Structure 1
């Protein structure tokens, strides 16, 4: 009779590919954000890899292609300055304070040097085409609008606001938040507004919005 072999321990099957190095991913994103802002979309993947201190193969391994990296860089900047926690409708506190927090974060984002430079690049026909502008919109502005729509819808359902067209109201809120201060910054006029001026602008914006959509 043949002997039964003793059971042997088996190693778990290896997953598909190596786990990604989060440190390298962060370095690539930071390099991409800086280069896209300063040099436009024409920056090469070789330049991004060199700035991040990694190989071009590593960049492609993490992000697939230049379009995906550009979108990820825009999303990363938005998430950094407009964290999703701001839009949680179940947070405790007055509605006005939550809207002020969203307005402050949004204005800080759109008035940053990086955002102003990117906005100007998007408006330059020599630098960009329609697909790139659409990619930018879908990676940054649209998710931010969607988050505010969800926030406002929850507040409408709670009876704190009366809004028929919530999507339009979200666009109105962000346009009001930018206001003349952002237009002047885009044109390079008058220097940067001070904190007091920004606070007055944002508070009046939120109060105007709340008066317009107060339950009747």
Structure 2
């Protein structure tokens, strides 16, 4: 099995190709993006593009992992991790749900699943670039909140995963199975509000643990 480490090489125009691909994928999606258009926007030849990424899926996942890392960094920089759990959970949940229900977020998921046999490391790389970062940061926040007497949690990693799943309730399955094409702001508010209330009912310091 060929690994992405063997396929993807770096060079002086690597970032240029990546930025061009990001613009095109964001605008046209994976299926709609053409190699010709990516090369044009990146201002490189197709030969140069293919020298870095011989498979469009590999290019998409490289863009995806980079974008996911950026999303995680933005979330961590914009969320006050010293704030009360309800506030931190609300902001984190909304950021997470907005990303995974976006067209780009759904495409990332579908590519990871579709290519899991051919390139299993793609999903692993994507997970490590963003979801794993937020999971660890949330677990660290829970520890701080516990020290302040705001939460009572025995397994912080499990609690972080549970919160993520609560934030996907209803809207994520409907999107993935094609029952709906979009999620409204009101629907996201409903899901995240419910996730925060459910989480606090289980792990709030005044609740049974």
What is the TM-score when the length of structure 2 is the normalising length?
A: 0.71
1:208 Cα shift?
0.5
Residue of structure 1 aligned with 2:22, choices 15, 30, 46: 30
Counterpart residue number, 1:101: 91
Report the Cα distance in structure 2 between the residues aligned to 1:72 and 1:121, rounded to whole angstroms.
12
Give a deviation string over 1:87-144, Cα, whole Å, max 9, x none.
5422xx4321221111111000000001101111111158843222222222232122
- Tell me how large the CA RMSD over aligned residues is: 3.8
Counterpart residue number, 1:164: 154
Report the Cα distance in structure 1 between the residues aligned to 2:146 and 2:122, rounded to whole angstroms.
35
1:33 Cα shift?
5.1
Counterpart residue number, 1:115: 105
Report the Cα distance in structure 2 between the residues aligned to 1:34 and 1:191, rounded to whole angstroms.
17
Runs of 4+ in 1 over 6 A off after TM superposition: 56-60, 63-71
1:86 Cα shift?
4.0
Note closer, same or farther for the CA distance 1:168–1:123 as it changes in structure 2 (3 Å cut).
Answer: same
Report the Cα distance in structure 1 between the residues aligned to 2:116 and 2:196, rounded to whole angstroms.
37
Counterpart residue number, 1:6: none
What is the TM-score when the length of structure 1 is the normalising length?
A: 0.69
Note closer, same or farther for the CA distance 1:195–1:64 as it changes in structure 2 (3 Å cut).
Answer: closer
Local SS of the residue matching 2:150: coil
Q: Which runs of 5+ in 1 are unaligned?
A: 1-19
Residue of structure 2 aligned with 1:52, choices 17, 20, 42: 42
Report the Cα distance in structure 1 between the residues aligned to 2:120 and 2:62, rounded to whole angstroms.
18
Q: Which runs of 5+ in 2 are unaligned?
A: 1-11
1:87–1:102 CA contact under 8 A, matched in 2: yes
Q: How does 1:186-201 map to 2 (within 5 A)?
A: 186-201=176-191
Local SS of the residue matching 2:170: helix
| Residue 213, structure 1, aligned to residue 203, structure 2 | yes
2:168–2:191 CA contact under 8 A, matched in 1: no
1:30 Cα shift?
2.1
2:16–2:42 CA contact under 8 A, matched in 1: yes
1:78 Cα shift?
2.5
Local SS of the residue matching 1:179: coil
Local SS of the residue matching 1:164: coil
Residue of structure 1 aligned with 2:66, choices 76, 80, 89: 76
